[in-house]
C-alpha cells in the first residue's frame, strides 16, 4: 500500500509542474484578446477537456471534442481542413490542447489556432460562456 501511495504522489507531482508548450508546430499561438476577436468572427472553437470540466462551463458555442474522441472523422464533422479553428483546454497546465493540435496537424489541418490560456482566462475576462 505504501508503494502505491508513493507512486501516486510521484506521478501527481510530475503533472503539477507541467507547463503547456509555448509553440505547437502547425499552429499559431493566440492570446485571449485574439481569441475573443476570432469568436466574434464566428471561428469555431473546440474544447478538448474531459466532461467533468465542460459540465461547469465552456466557451459559448464551442464544440466539445474530448481528446479521447479526437479522431479525423469526429474533427471533420465539426470543421473542415481548410477552415480556421481554435483549440483550447484548461489553461497553461493542460497538455490536451497541444496533443489535439498535433493530431489535427497529422490529419491535414492547416489553420489551427492554439489558445494556450484556455477556458480559465476566457472566464476571467468574462467573455461569453455557457
Residue 11 lies in a domain: no
For 82-120, the pLDDT digits (tens) are 999 999 999 999 999 999 999 999 999 999 999 999 999
For 12-46, the pLDDT digits (tens) are 444 567 889 899 999 999 999 999 999 999 999 99
Residue 111 lies in a domain: yes
Structural domains of the chain, count: 1
Residue 88 lies in a domain: yes
Residue numbers of the domain that contains 105: 20-124
Burial class (CB in 10 A: 0-12, 13-18, 19+), 77: exposed
**3-class DSSP state of 21:** coil
Whose cell is 467533468? That residue is 52
**What does pTM read for this prediction?**
0.87
Residue 36 lies in a domain: yes
109 phi, psi to nearest 5 deg: -75, 140
Amino acid at each position: 500500500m505504501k508503494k502505491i501511495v508513493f507512486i501516486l504522489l510521484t506521478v501527481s507531482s510530475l503533472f503539477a509542474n507541467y507547463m503547456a508548450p509555448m509553440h505547437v508546430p502547425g499552429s499559431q499561438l493566440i492570446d485571449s484578446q485574439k481569441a475573443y476577436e476570432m469568436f466574434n468572427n464566428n471561428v469555431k472553437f473546440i474544447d478538448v477537456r474531459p466532461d467533468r470540466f465542460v459540465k461547469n462551463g465552456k466557451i459559448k458555442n464551442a464544440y466539445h471534442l474530448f481528446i479521447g474522441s479526437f479522431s479525423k472523422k469526429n474533427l471533420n464533422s465539426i470543421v473542415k481542413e481548410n477552415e480556421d479553428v481554435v483549440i483550447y483546454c484548461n489553461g497553461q497546465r493542460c497538455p490536451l490542447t497541444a496533443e489535439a493540435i498535433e493530431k489535427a496537424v497529422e490529419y491535414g489541418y492547416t489553420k489551427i489556432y492554439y489558445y494556450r490560456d484556455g477556458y480559465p482566462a476566457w472566464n476571467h475576462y468574462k467573455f461569453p460562456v455557457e
